[in-house]
Amino acid sequence: MPEPNAPRGQVKLADAVAHLHQRGLYVSKGMIYKYVEAGRLNRYGPEKRNHKYYSLAELDQLADEELGIGQRLDANFARASLDDLKGIYRVSEKIFNTPTVSPISVEQKRTWLLKEPRGHYVVKRTTGEILAWLHITPVSDAFLADYMAGNKTGTHLIAADIRPFTPGIPANCIVVSIASDPDLEKKARPRCMSILLHGVSLDIALWGLQGIIISRLYAWSETKSGIALCARMGMQQFNPPFRATTKDGKPGPWRYSFYLDVLNSPKLMVRGYQRALHEWQTSNPQWTTEAEEDLPPAWVPGSPNPIKQRQPGPSQAAHQVNPIKQRQPGSASSSTPDSTYASPEDLPAGTVHLQDFLAAHGLKDHRRKVLGYLEAPRNGLRHEAFKKPNRDEHDRYLTPDQQDQLLSWLQAHHADLFQP
């Protein structure tokens, strides 16, 4: 018996997810259920019907609230100047006085801006009052490894650890801090962050025109709001969470690490940058090379390392060569990745088998296509694969972050798969 159509003004679960994606709010089906539990969405339909409907009006209201649309805020985006550092510090004192982190001094941040002024942003009122800020800093491989392993925080970052951007030379960057004033009205904070991230998106597009290559963007967080912000930026889990250590050596809160594959991410935030960088590389072919075999091996910020990436060595930097091999559609061969976990029992809560994911999203008939997308390195998608005993086959799983990443990517690149 064919499934009935949704009533006017309402949609099915898969269509609700797709609608929010079109509005710029990237959520999974699981997140829809969480909104229902929190009372922010209602489910409609007969009691006996398991699969309910969702109101388009409520979905639009949810998107407006999450994205801060419609909230008036007397503030503007700007590149941070040395004069803004005192205001940033005043707000950071409200946020970062915790057992594991401390506010970073004005003097220390001053050395960052003097070493590399790009990557520092604020949202401030016309009076100069700082409402939000973001520091993106290119760092050395050694500092990055310590940072992501939990051995160092932003308070340890000194000018000697910063590697100024150089056209044609890939840089790995960290989000040293991103925050908004906790005293802001709750409804105004999403709007404030939207202003910040939109401004950053426009500014890094200018980096692309200058030939600045950002390979990866890394971050970690210990707070729910920070983790949610990393997800909003399209970042993926880097390593399994671990306990941070407090300043007095005791076990602290759980720390979650993330990364964004800036060159391949489908997120709207970096698409302008990707187009601008492609334009620059097309105009400067002397800065590109296919000699990937000449590159040194990647650093390993912990074992195992889920990111297979080669880093530029001193010899490449000296000659200003771009060692990134641009993969064209169809040029990459498929391969089955090794899992970053020892066994399926070690996978995080919320992990699902690939077959269950496909069934939940109505994609069972497209298994071969989806698997092909997952295994194509150019797509930057990840999953966990475990070889079956005595068989040349694999059991495949998706962690919660990987589910969101794959769903967002499919919605952006192959929305036709979701059509009935």
> Can you tell me the distance from the alpha carbon of 390 to that of 392, in angstroms, rounded to the nearest whole number?
7
**CA neighbor of 139 nearest in space, from 125, 151, 157:** 157
Per the confidence metrics, is the pTM higher than 0.75?
Answer: no
Q: Report phi then psi at 156, rounded to 5.
A: -90, -5
Q: Please report where in the chains the tokens 């620059």 appear, as a residue.
A: 280
Supply the pLDDT for residue 56.
Answer: 94
CA distance linking residue 352 with residue 247, whole number of Å:
37
112 versus 386: the higher-pLDDT residue is 112
Q: Where are the domains of the chain?
A: 10-67, 76-289, 344-418
For the stretch 166-177, pLDDT in tens is 999 999 999 999
Q: Which residue has the tokens 């064919």?
A: 2
Residue 53 gets which letter from DSSP?
A: B
pLDDT at 107: 97
* DSSP letter, residue 156: G
The answer on pLDDT for 190 being more than 90 is: no
268-303 confidence digits (pLDDT tens): 789 889 999 999 988 887 765 333 333 333 333 333
- Backbone phi and psi for residue 214, each to the nearest 5 degrees, phi listed first: -105, 110
pLDDT of residue 295: 30
Q: Identify the band that residue 328 occupies on the pLDDT scale cut at 50, 70 and 90.
A: very low
Which range, 131-140, 196-205, 410-419, is most confident?
131-140
- For 3, 39, 62, 179, 229, the CA distances from 52, given in Å and listed in that order, are 12, 15, 18, 37, 29
Mean pLDDT lowest for which of 50-54, 108-112, 122-126, 146-150?
A: 50-54
> Percent of the chain at pLDDT above 70?
83
Please give the Cα distance from 215 to 228 (Å, whole number): 22
What pLDDT is stored for residue 68 in this prediction?
57
Q: In this predicted model, what pLDDT tens digit does every residue of 402-415 receive, in sequence order?
A: 887 888 788 777 87
Residue 174: how many other CB atoms lie within 10 Å: 24
pLDDT at 49: 73
Strand boundaries in 112-262, DSSP class E:
120-124, 130-138, 170-180, 213-221, 236-237, 242-245, 251-261
Q: What percent of the chain has pLDDT over 90?
A: 34
Residue 304 has pLDDT above 50, yes or no: no
Find out if CATH 3.50.50.60 is the number for domain 76-289.
no
